[in-house]
Amino acid sequence: MNPIVNLQGKVGLVTGIANEKSISTGVAEACAQAGAKLIITYQNEKTRAFIEPVIHRLGVEDVFLLDVTKQETMDAAFAEIDARYGKLDFAVHSMAFAKRDDLHGRVVDTSADGFALAMDVSTHSFVRLAKKAEPLLEKAGGGALVTMTYLGSEKVIPNYGVMGLCKAALEAATRYMAAELGAKGIRVNAVSPGPLMTRAASGIAGFDGLMAAAVERSPMHALVTPEDIGALTAFLVSDAGRLVTGGVHFVDAGYNIMA
């Protein structure tokens, strides 16, 4: 009997790996263990050095430049995927950015340029990725798109600022794209992890306190790990999740349900 989460024969794109502790690293590991052929992207040559250990450990052969602020790099990456595989079964979007002042400051003080940059990198990049992936997912007979969100989309989180607005828009985009792409067999979902220490999280003031509160207040009194996030994502992109679309799926030991 085949395992429930089986990605044998599937080709998947995983973006956003910054180092070995990244959420995307856990996702890549889970998908690789389930048998997927992985494609990994990096933002620039400087950042590639930090992901080399992940590339080598997982035996990833296809590693492409993809800087979402430079559309030509996304175009080139997807053209290469098409040339090499002629299809794509799933793509994982795990990218977000906001200027430090906009992240820690008041939303009402956010500059127009800062707001636009945060929304472009954190939210619209998922829309652009979906647009590029759509024809390749169709060639595969359908597939899955997954993005990473956070509870700050619906609750006010200290020092999360404009990113809360970006995540709210990201979740709305997930629902709309799920409705638009469902007829083609393309599923779109968002995963919402509890707080965990990543390079991105280290830029949020007081994040240690958020993690401590998550342990104290969550029903299971535990912190999520990249492996936990990877396991859920692997399920969502597998055939086991074939009728799951348009949702925000929490993996946070139940923290989001607590008042």
CB 166 within 8 A of CB 96: yes
Which of 42, 85, 160, 176 is an active site residue?
Answer: 160
67 assigned to a ligand binding site: yes
* Annotated binding residue 98: yes
Q: Is residue 49 part of a domain?
A: yes
Tally of domains in the chain: 1
Query: Is 172 within the bounds of a domain?
Result: yes
167 in a labelled binding site:
yes
Tell me if residue 255 is catalytic: no
Task: Say if 160 falls within a structural domain.
Answer: yes
Rg of the chain over all Cα atoms, to the nearest angstrom: 17
Low-confidence ranges of the chain (pLDDT < 50): none
CA 49 and chain centroid, separation: 21
Distance CA 78, CA 56 (A): 22
Quick check: 162 and 103 in contact, CB under 8 A? Answer: yes
Query: Does 71 appear as a known binding residue?
Result: no
What CATH number is attached to the domain comprising 241? 3.40.50.720
- Distance of alpha carbon 187 from the chain centroid: 14
- Residue 56 in any domain: the answer is yes
Rounded Cα distance between 100 and 109, Å, is 13
pLDDT at 103: 87
Q: Is 4 annotated as a binding residue?
A: no
Domain assignment present for residue 128? The answer is: yes
Letter for the amino acid at 92?
A: V
Q: Is 130 annotated as a binding residue?
A: no
Residue 37 inside a domain? The answer is yes
Q: Per the residue annotation, which of 42, 85, 150, 255 is the catalytic one?
A: 150
Structural domain including 36 reads 11-251
Residue 258 belongs to a domain: no
pLDDT, position 198: 64
- Which pLDDT does position 94 carry in this prediction? 97
Determine whether the annotation assigns residue 131 to a binding site.
no
Q: What is the pLDDT of residue 217?
A: 93
Residue 222 lies in a domain: yes
160 is catalytic: yes
The 3-state secondary structure of the chain, one letter per residue: CCCCCCCCCCEEEECCCCCCCCHHHHHHHHHHHCCCEEEEEECCHHHHHHHHHHHHHHCCCEEEECCCCCHHHHHHHHHHHHHHHCCCCEEEECCCCCCHHHHHCCHHHCCHHHHHHHHHHHHHHHHHHHHHHHHHHHHCCCEEEEEECCHHHCCCCCCCHHHHHHHHHHHHHHHHHHHHHHHHCEEEEEEEECCCCCCCHHHCCCHHHHHHHHHHHCCCCCCCCHHHHHHHHHHHHCHHHCCCCCCEEEECCCHHHCC
Q: Residue 83 and residue 85: Cα distance in Å, rounded?
A: 6
